[in-house]
Amino acid sequence: MQHKLPKGICLSFDFEDSHLDLPLLYLKRGSTIPCTPLHQHVGEANPTDDNSLLVALDEHGILFKDDGDGYEYIKGGYLLTTYVSEHQSSVVTLRVSKAEGSWKRPNHRLHVQLLLGIGAVLDAWGTDGEILQIKMPSEDDLSELILAGKREYRLRIGTQWPHSRVDVNGYEEYSGVEYRSAGCFEEYSVIDRHLEQPGEIESLNLEGDIIIGGGLILERKISFPENVPVRI
């Protein structure tokens, strides 16, 4: 489907897990998103876990921390941090502009991912609470990083070919072998099957109600020439 982004410049990014079945991710300029390691429940989390900030210059981002269980946050048992990123000359400075709550800041590392363009990210590490400065690349190096990011993204997407199988009286198509997405799943009835002699084309005529009960029918013919890629 065509997507409509809000006004302003939005930068695309991913977590190196781009997949045809996953949504496209964009971050509007002036936004910062805190990320933490994946946990199944709050009991797995540790106050000293590394934090990550996805930064699309400029403005600020806010990170809230508490025990994850209980009601101590009502009495001030939390840490609410506001981060600010500023770009001056060729240096990006990230700092804490404000902190609220009675929690002492844990001693943990801060991983900053500065979004530069399509698939291009500048990584920097520091200590949470301390000023972190990131030197921006030159215009030529920045262009090369963006081009490399585009190539890497296309390579990841380009290796994901649709997979399919033919069952009794049906055909289904999906985009990954590890799981099947309802968004890429289609069922058809086989209305005609041609099983020719070896070396000749084998084909199926299919039709499917792609809007269930809506009366919109999609017809397909799939042929399987010997030693030639499948044609649809």
Residue 1 belongs to some domain of the structure:
no
Round the average pLDDT of the chain to a whole number and report it: 76
* Predicted local distance difference test score (pLDDT) of residue 71: 87
The yes-or-no verdict on residue 152 having pLDDT over 60 is: yes
Are residues 24 and 12 in contact, defined by beta-carbon separation less than 8 angstroms?
A: yes
| pLDDT of res. 101 | 93
The total of other beta-carbon atoms located within 10 Å of residue 96's CB is 17
% of the chain at pLDDT higher than 90: 7
- Residue 134 has, within 13 A of its CA and on its CB side, a CA count of 24
Residue 25 shares a structural domain with residue 127: yes
Q: With a cut of 90, say whether residue 231 has pLDDT above it.
A: no
- Same domain as 216, residue 199: yes
Give the pLDDT confidence of 170-195 residue by residue, as tens digits. 545 554 444 444 444 456 677 777 76
Instruction: Tell me what the mean pLDDT of segment 2-15 comes to.
Output: 78
Structure tokens at 202: 């084998």
The answer to whether the Cα torsion of 172, 177, 179, 184 is positive or negative is: negative
Q: Determine the pLDDT at residue 117.
A: 73
pLDDT at 183: 41
Whole-prediction pTM value? Answer: 0.59
**Residue 213 placed within a domain:** yes
Number of domains in the chain: 2
Provide the pLDDT for residue 184: 41
Last residue of a domain, one of 137, 158, 179: 158
Q: HSE, CB side, 13 Å, CA atoms: give it for residue 53.
A: 32
Model confidence over 22-62: pLDDT tens digits?
778 888 888 888 888 888 888 888 888 888 888 887 555 67
Which of 158, 174, 193 finishes a domain?
A: 158
Task: Encode pLDDT of 70-122 as tens digits.
Answer: 888 888 999 998 888 888 888 888 889 899 999 898 888 999 988 887 677 88
Q: What is the pLDDT of residue 201?
A: 64
* pLDDT higher than threshold 50 for residue 196: yes
Of the residues 158, 188, 214, which one is the last residue of a structural domain? 158
Listed residue (126, 97, 129) closest to 112, CA to CA:
126
Structure tokens at 115: 């979004």
User: Closest Cα partner for 11 from 30, 35, 38, 39?
Assistant: 30
Range of the domain at 203: 163-224
Please indicate, yes or no, if residue 184 is contained in any of the structural domains. Answer: yes
Q: Does the residue 232 lie in any domain? A: no
